[in-house]
Amino acid sequence: MFDKILIANRGEIACRVIKTARRMGIKTVAVYSEADANARHVRLADEAVLIGPAAARESYLVIDKIIAAAKATGAQAIHPGYGFLSENEDFCHACEREGIVFIGPPVSAIRAMGSKSEAKKLMEAAGVPLTPGYHGDDQEPSYLHQQADAIGYPVLIKAAAGGGGKGMRLVEKSEDFIDLLASCKREASSSFGDDHVLVEKYITKPRHIEIQVFGDTHGNVVYLFERDCSVQRRHQKVLEEAPAPGMTLERRAAMGKAAVEAAKAVGYVGAGTVEFIANQDGSFYFMEMNTRLQVEHPVTEMITGLDLVEWQLRVAAGEPLPLAQEDIHLSGHAIEVRLYTEDPYDGFAPQTGTVQFWRPERALAGRAKGQCAFGEVRIDAGIHEGGQISPYYDPMVAKLIVHGRNRQDAIRRLMAALDDAPLLGLRHNARFLRDLLDHPAFREARMHTTLIDQWLQDGEPLLQRPRPETLTWALAAAALVAQAPSALRPDSVAAWSTTLTLAGTTESQAVRIRPHGAQVSVQLADGTVFAFEQLGWHDHRLSYQIDGVQRQAICQVQGGQVTLALGATVFVFDEKSPFPQNHQALDPRKLRSPVAGTVCAIAVAVGDPVKAGQPLLCVEAMKMEMWLNARADGIVTALHASLKGSVAAGSVLAELALTNEETNP
């Protein structure tokens, strides 16, 4: 076994690998960019090496710098995590050349599965069922068009080198094929440097079911059952579970066999995932193989009781697989949710800022394994209190995973864990995840891969920003008093002594406060009065009694801003109205960048007439593209953006002279 390994990654996965290495007595080396100097993975590792500026292509993606860090620290092996260099053949080669063990499959397996087209050819030969389609070498547009017509619409055009849900186009009818093919090829060249595509039958309302496989250097390959990843948004996973609801023993065995065949066909070693797309009727087709540890591997660990990173390390060190197929068993039900610093109620816009409160231990307390057979709660996080979420990397900051006796049990436990692990400081999707777990479509296992996208179009209530209840407004006002009682006029005990204007995210109201000792009464604009008793404040915990019942909330007051976490839902109120600022943001004459990022498209030029709603330019941050649309008809008078240029959050990127000046504020 190794004495020391380097982890060529960041965030939660780097922290997670360090955890197992520590448990096994293996020293760890972290690498980090300038933006990550203070990051959690750097703090957890035994040693850390700075590898360059914030941009991943200048740090986490630079093979030479990572190899140099491994040599400088004497690391014998490198764990690549997922994303970044995990499926990069050149990196794998470089490790080999330098005599460093790459903790992953051999170069040949990465290459074989790197192209979706080549992978499909191999799977065809191995007898694995494939999504009907064309994955040949002829890339002539008219020929591909013929193939699509023969497959029958709708079809999906996919970049052979694609990944992360990028480089795909849905074609509904023959007339649209040629244009969408061109746009897919453009995106494929710019994102993956390879415009080779394949065409597949588009399966409507499918489920995504994948099989975890493991191989060793002694020729053994096993499967560790399935994961259901059908809850997706724009083809990216939001929540995963194991086992898949409704899975029969026969189908599991058939899929497991197909996955093991797939792995054997490429001489697979280490952890890998064979992804299938499944029809509502249960038929399944090979989609692709991911030659690395998957984001959602913890659900498999929970139902099998195994540590997949330990298996990876043992296999990389040349040991045989610890268990044979018949010794691997499945118990209970596990669900994972991905906590993203994205605002689900604002088009899932990625958020940057400081983590002001994050104490996940609270969710773990009393739920550790050992106290009962099921019910383990696990939080894999890449953040810490005081840490920064920068715009340079993926906005997934943590995963919450639970194990239940059965699916309903797991759902309840996960909702409770989300309630007990609030994140304060920036917007995120915890409340959305909780609502999702509680939604009938999920409870009844009716999810399919495009349901959330459909909800976005249908205006599903789960995607509407939750409005604070009257009690929440009152509690925010009481929190201000509890935190700084002296700031309020102490003179009148009987009279309403102070009036505040509290502004929530979308509305504001005047509230009156009457403090007396540990009791505070709050009157809202509509006249409702709440009397809080035994108001107490201790280390971010606001306790109060109302109508004879004691409750508490996680709360933070900073300046005039009150942040209240009521379970998984976080509300922010400002004592001074933020609306003048919003007003500025709404001025249709100036289009501002919603985030710090890079300009990835400019669709207009100075002097162009534009219509309200027309997309003007696009900013990319955290792998997400956000178009800025004109909010009124007008003429572009200035552009303050250049292609690939960096822009700050809030900076003006385009200016318009409005056609109809009356619409000006």
What residues are labeled active site? 292
The reply on whether position 298 binds ligand ADP by CB under 6 A is no
- Residue 235: which of Mg ion, ligand ADP, none does it interact with, CB under 5 to 8 A by kind? ligand ADP
Binding-site member from 206, 298, 425, 468 for ligand ADP (CB under 6 A): 206
- Cα separation, 181 vs 184, in Å, equals 5
- Residue 449: which of ligand ADP, Mg ion, none does it interact with, CB under 5 to 8 A by kind? ligand ADP
Residue placing its CB nearer to ligand ADP in the complex, 323 or 618: 618
Least distance CB 369 / Mg ion (angstroms)? 30
Residue placing its CB nearer to ligand ADP in the complex, 156 or 478: 156
- Residue 164: which of Mg ion, ligand ADP, none does it interact with, CB under 5 to 8 A by kind? ligand ADP
Binding-site member from 80, 104, 114, 162 for ligand ADP (CB under 6 A): 162
- Residue pair 648/593 in contact (Cβ under 8 Å)? The answer is yes
- Residue 419: which of Mg ion, ligand ADP, none does it interact with, CB under 5 to 8 A by kind? none
- Cα separation, 66 vs 542, in Å, equals 46
- Cα separation, 2 vs 518, in Å, equals 59
Least distance CB 648 / ligand ADP (angstroms)? 22
Q: Where are the alpha helices (DSSP H) in 126-173?
A: 141-151
The reply on whether position 540 binds ligand ADP by CB under 6 A is no
- Residue pair 294/336 in contact (Cβ under 8 Å)? The answer is no
- Cα separation, 172 vs 162, in Å, equals 21
Minimal CB distance residue for Mg ion? 275
Q: Which two tokens stand for residue 180?
A: 């969408």
Binding-site member from 212, 294, 352, 429 for ligand ADP (CB under 6 A): 294
Kind plus residue range of the DSSP H or E element containing 499: strand 498-503
Stretch that binds ligand ADP, among 164-172, 304-312, 534-542, 628-636 (CB under 6 A): 164-172
Residue placing its CB nearer to Mg ion in the complex, 289 or 562: 289
Least distance CB 288 / ligand ADP (angstroms)? 5
Find tokens 């495009």 and name the residue.
450
Q: Where are the alpha helices (DSSP H) in 6-136?
A: 11-23, 40-44, 63-73, 89-97, 107-114, 116-125
The reply on whether position 609 binds ligand ADP by CB under 6 A is no
* Window 370-399: residues binding ligand ADP (CB under 6 A): 394, 396
Binding-site member from 32, 60, 177, 202 for ligand ADP (CB under 6 A): 202
Residue placing its CB nearer to ligand ADP in the complex, 162 or 344: 162
* Window 471-500: residues binding ligand ADP (CB under 6 A): none
* Window 262-291: residues binding Mg ion (CB under 5 A): 275
Residue 497 class from Cβ within 10 Å (0-12 exposed, 13-18 middle, 19+ buried)?
middle
Please report the sign of the dihedral spanned by the C-alpha atoms of residue 238, residue 105, residue 29, residue 311.
positive
- Residue 208: which of Mg ion, ligand ADP, none does it interact with, CB under 5 to 8 A by kind? ligand ADP
- Residue 202: which of Mg ion, ligand ADP, none does it interact with, CB under 5 to 8 A by kind? ligand ADP
Residue 192 class from Cβ within 10 Å (0-12 exposed, 13-18 middle, 19+ buried)?
middle
Residue 363 has phi, psi (to 5 degrees) of: -75, -25
- Cα separation, 178 vs 142, in Å, equals 8
- Cα separation, 373 vs 326, in Å, equals 22
Identity of the residue numbered 336: E
- Residue 307: which of Mg ion, ligand ADP, none does it interact with, CB under 5 to 8 A by kind? none
- Residue pair 98/167 in contact (Cβ under 8 Å)? The answer is no
Q: Which two tokens stand for residue 481?
A: 């008093």
- Cα separation, 439 vs 444, in Å, equals 8
Residue placing its CB nearer to ligand ADP in the complex, 156 or 303: 156
- Residue 219: which of ligand ADP, Mg ion, none does it interact with, CB under 5 to 8 A by kind? none
Least distance CB 288 / Mg ion (angstroms)? 5
List Cα–Cα distances, 258 to 69, 114, 160, 211, 489, in angstroms.
39, 19, 21, 9, 73
**Closest Cα partner for 14 from 24, 34, 29?**
29
Work out the angle between the directed axes of helices 141-151 and 177-192 (0-180°, nearest 10).
120
- The count of residues interacting with ligand ADP (CB under 6 A) is 30
Binding-site member from 17, 21, 62, 83 for ligand ADP (CB under 6 A): 83
The reply on whether position 277 binds ligand ADP by CB under 6 A is yes
Residue placing its CB nearer to Mg ion in the complex, 28 or 294: 294
**Closest Cα partner for 565 from 463, 382, 432, 430?**
430
Residue placing its CB nearer to ligand ADP in the complex, 80 or 404: 80
Q: Which residues contact ligand ADP by CB under 6 A?
A: 82-83, 131, 156, 162-166, 200-203, 206, 208, 232, 235-237, 275, 277, 287-288, 290, 294-295, 394, 396, 449, 623
